[in-house]
Structures are given as C-alpha cells and as structure tokens.
Amino acid sequence: MSTVPYYDSADVKMVTSMQVLLEEIKKFGIERPGGGLYFRGQDDESYPLKPTAGRSNFYKHGGKVALPFTLKQERDLLHRFKRYAYNHTQRLLNDWEALFLARQHGLPVRLLDWTSNPLVALYYAVLCEEEPNKDGAIWIFRRIKDDSRDIDIMAKKRSPFEITGVKIIYPLYVSPRLIVQSGCFTLHHDPSRSLEKDNPNNYGPGDFDISVLRKWVVPSNKKVELLDTLERMAINYRTLFPDLDGLAKGLWQLEVIRKY
C-alpha cells in the first residue's frame, strides 16, 4: 500500500521555466504511478481549490458579501439558466448540459476546471491581469487507477446534484474553448470544502477520484517571461478562447507583452 500522502503542503516545487515544468511532470509521473494526470493554473497561489459555488467572496456586491449557496439555491439558479438559455439553444438542456454551459459562461456551479494539458494550466498561472505581483500556482493531481465507478454523463441516470464525494467528470464539449483547452472537471458534493484540505478517507469506495494532489508555485517575477514563452508556442488568449472576444483580448495582450 502506498505511503504517499494525498496532499503534503510542504512538498511544493518552484516552476521557474518551461524546462523545469516538464522535468517536474516527468518526475511526478514516475514517483507516483497510477491513473492520468490533470492540471489547474491559478494566478494567486494562496487561492484555495474551491468551485465557484463554494466561494463566498465570489458574491461581493456593493461592499457586501452574500452567503454561500444552499443546494436549493443552486438548483433554482440552474433551472433559471435553462429557461433563459432556451432562446440560444432552442431546446431544453438536461442538468449536465446546463451545468457545463453555465460554468463556461460564469455562473457559479459545483464544478472545478482542470485540463490534461499542463501548458494550459501554466497559462492561467502566469496571467498578469488580476494578481501580477502574486506568485501563481499549478495544481496537479493523479487520478485513481480504477475507473470502474466513473460517472457516465451520457447515461443521464443520475443528476449532478445526486453525486457524492469528489468525482472526475469528462464533459460534453458544449463550447469550443473546452475542446482547445483539453478541459475536464471535478464535481464536488460540498463546494465549500477546499480540495487541498479534504481527506479521501472520509468518503466511501468510489466516491473520491483523486489519489495524490500537489501544488507547484510560479514566482511572480517569472510570469511575464513565461507568458512570452507560451505566446511563442501558440498558447495564448486567441487560441484558448477561439471567438471574437478571445481574438480582441489576445491581440491586446500580445501588444502589452511586447512592450513590457
């Protein structure tokens, strides 16, 4: 039986270059064999791993902070999203479809974004829009090897609100950005609980899909340099958000990088 802890806050690597990132991924894969690897980038390494539905500070307005969602509020909001989205989709979405689409357009839900592409995660870690002077983070996890209890969203037998624990969800690709970003999600039964503070031993068999979780830190003084490197590798806002908004924002971002 493995003695590797699920999460070790002292086991933090520093990612200062593309070469270091690739070397750390290789070492992580060798030292912690098992299922697939998944990555998540955050521009502030102090942010907890919580879905938007569990972040109370996500609802700030006029200096006031709203209370966290209850399950009923979350269901009601998704129900309203389905009704209003009908004009765009021309059909009634099921819960899974609505959940994926709502997440892509900013509605707070119980999904946390991940990618199988480490360069996509690095891009989010080095974005200098919100926290340019804060160290970024790349989170990496190894999924459990046993996939016999994976959630089959195509079967439509279970609502996402009935799922317990923390489960990896391979989504319907409801938007181009999900495809180009090699996106997937973890679905959290309790969105208010930080993933790094969770404990797989608190769950029943098959209810927790992550075997090992680690955090790598990207120093703030390396963000622009790494952003420029990613630009040269065609990992940028234009390619990760393939629409007109992504094109416009990406062109402006490139202009800023060149003049930095």
Residue pair 218/125 in contact (Cβ under 8 Å)? The answer is yes
Mean pLDDT of the region 72-90 = 92
> Given this model, what pLDDT does residue 68 score?
63
pLDDT digits (tens, 9 = 90+) for 37-58: 999 999 999 999 999 988 875 5
Residue pair 65/59 in contact (Cβ under 8 Å)? The answer is yes
pLDDT digits (tens, 9 = 90+) for 121-167: 999 999 977 767 999 999 999 999 999 999 999 886 788 999 999 99
Residue 216's nearest CA partner among 156, 137, 157 is 137
> CA-CA distance, 196 to 134, in Å (whole number)?
20
Residue pair 215/14 in contact (Cβ under 8 Å)? The answer is no
Residue pair 89/151 in contact (Cβ under 8 Å)? The answer is no
> CA-CA distance, 187 to 167, in Å (whole number)?
5
Return the percentage of the chain with pLDDT > 70, whole number: 92
Annotated domain spans of the chain: 9-59+67-225
Q: Indicate whether 1 pLDDT > 50.
A: no
Tell me how far CA of residue 211 lies from CA of 35, 78, 90, 190, 200, in angstroms. 9, 31, 41, 18, 8
Q: Indicate whether 4 pLDDT > 80.
A: no
